[in-house]
Amino acid sequence: MDSAQPTNSSGNPVGVVSASNSTSKAPQNADSNAKNENSQAANNKNPPTLSNKELKELKKKEKAAKRAAKKQQFLNSDDKNNAKPSSNQIKKQINNETNNSNATSNNNFNPNTNKQSTNNESFSRDKIISLFTHLSTKEERNQSSLNILHEFIHTSIIKLNLNYSNFKIIGSINRCVSMLNTFKIVINDYKFNDKKNLSFSRDLTQYLSYQIEFLKTSRPLSITMRNSIRWLKQTISELSLNFKSPIENSIDSQIDFKNQISEKIDDFIKNKIYLPQNLIINDAKKHISNDSIILTYGNSKVLNNLFIHCHNIEKKEFKLIIVDSRPLFEGKTLLNNLINSGFKRENLSYIFINAISTILNTNKIDAVFLGAHGILSNGTLYSRVGTAMCSLVSHKRNVPIIVCCESLKFTDKIQLDSLTQNEINDNDYLLNVPNFNSLPKKKNYFLEYFIKSKSIENNSNNFNNSRLSKQQQQNKLNKKFQEENELKNNEDYDPLVDYKNTKNLNLLNIMYDLTPAEYITKIVTEMGSLPPSSIPVVLKEYNSIA
């Protein structure tokens, strides 16, 4: 009879090791513990299961990040093969900058300057009225110009860009003519890159697109400029198709092609700008007679030539009232041109736009002549800000309103307000007005009272008992201003000088406004005098011919 041997809890004899248990059970326990730890860690770290829609959005973001990385790698490359980026890449780059994207900047820039510029950009963005936040500011356009590859930009385009941004060249016609003349220089200096698998016309069009994108950083393109650019690209493609020999094979054919484009540009300027202006003058001069009183606003190239023609060539004696406004004071340019051309000073009057109602009440105005930045397809006049105010006041007094503009300014776009598309100018131009800052500035009590009362109202909202704190501070403010009014302090003071640091005080300096078609009596073009309702018909015929 065998003696009983002590066993352990697993049933095995004490001191005897079970091979099966030692080799299988211990690893199983370890694996199970590891799996439990991994599952717990996964449950703690990993998010819940994503839906199909969320997975698609995640994949889109990953693809967008890869594309941005590839584009940045391309921008930072040494460009050994002289490969030019496409115009779409430049457009995306500018849009990313203006939309405050997270794309990294070029390695050649100083990071300190980039930080400062982004801070200024966000600060200026806070000072924009909410209705116009979708429009780009001058600071944003200047910032986007720094990130364009300047090695592809012609020096004459850079000079033209500065003249646009500094308002040395102003007016849609003047800007368009200077742009086309600059394009002639760019085309003549252009050298074809035969390493690319592009035709001469396609490569030239792409090269011009770089210049156009850079011009957009100074100011938005006018309607006249957009129509001219569309015509130029179409002309280049048509000339390349009808050219006798392949342009890419010989330098002589390339020179001949460039000369033909330059001649086409000269003919376009002559037939679409200068000749229409002469036809408009011959038609509009019928509305100006001796002893008539004419009112105009701002400055227009065709109106400038019209008034000089009626005075010097037609020998008509008429009075002209020039209405002007800040900050550009374009009416001063018109006034100086008319005086230099021989106008009598007693026949010229110069007023600001805030006095237009008084002028219309005290004078019998025979007609109002207006220039145009563009005419929309619904007959609406898109012109310098203040034009709508002059038109409204004149229309209420039954004064005929005559608009003189070329058909090149017509567009098939429609705007119902001046908010969706406009141009925001620098707000400092409203403060730093030449020849006006030297004048003494009396203390503006009403404006200062309004600013301080608004600041008190905002600060009082931080207190629980806002009514009591607001009333107390308002009483102190009223007492202070009563004392200052009694003293009649005559020191020079400008309450807007520190507007950027004043909360809830914003300035708005837009460039254009809309005048409804019902305010306009007729539109004088090279095709004759037309009512605003005929603009869609003219556009349809114009597009069919083009």
**Domain range summary for the chain, segments of one domain joined by +:** 86-100+111-276, 288-425+513-545, 432-491
* Burial zone of 479 (CB within 10 Å; 0-12 exposed, 13-18 middle, 19+ buried): exposed
The CATH superfamily label for domain 86-100+111-276 reads: translation initiation factor eif-2b, domain 1 (1.20.120.420)
Burial of 369 (0-12, 13-18, 19+ CB in 10 A): buried
DSSP 510: B
Measured CA to CA, the distance from residue 395 to residue 379 in angstroms comes to 16
Distances in whole angstroms, Cα of residue 295 to Cα of each of 138, 343, 362, 364, 412: 32, 15, 13, 10, 29
What pLDDT tens digit does each residue of the chain (546 aa) get?
A: 444 444 444 454 444 444 444 444 444 444 555 445 545 544 444 445 667 667 767 777 777 777 667 656 655 554 444 444 454 554 555 455 444 433 333 333 333 333 334 444 444 567 778 888 888 888 888 777 766 766 789 999 999 999 999 999 999 999 999 999 999 999 999 988 776 667 888 889 999 999 999 999 999 999 999 999 999 999 999 988 877 667 767 788 889 999 999 999 999 999 999 999 999 999 999 999 999 999 999 999 999 999 999 999 999 999 999 999 988 999 999 999 999 999 999 999 999 999 999 999 999 999 999 999 999 999 999 999 999 999 999 999 999 999 999 999 999 999 999 888 999 988 888 886 655 554 445 555 566 666 666 666 666 555 544 455 566 666 766 666 665 555 445 455 566 777 778 777 888 899 999 999 999 999 999 999 999 999 988 888 777 655
Residue 453 to residue 426: CA distance in whole angstroms = 27
Which residue(s) pair with 375 in the sheet? 381, 410
Decide whether 86-100+111-276 matches 288-425+513-545 in CATH topology. no
CATH code for residues 288-425+513-545: 3.40.50.10470
Is the pTM higher than 0.75? The answer reads no
Angular region, 526: left φ>0, alpha ψ -120 to 50, beta rest = alpha
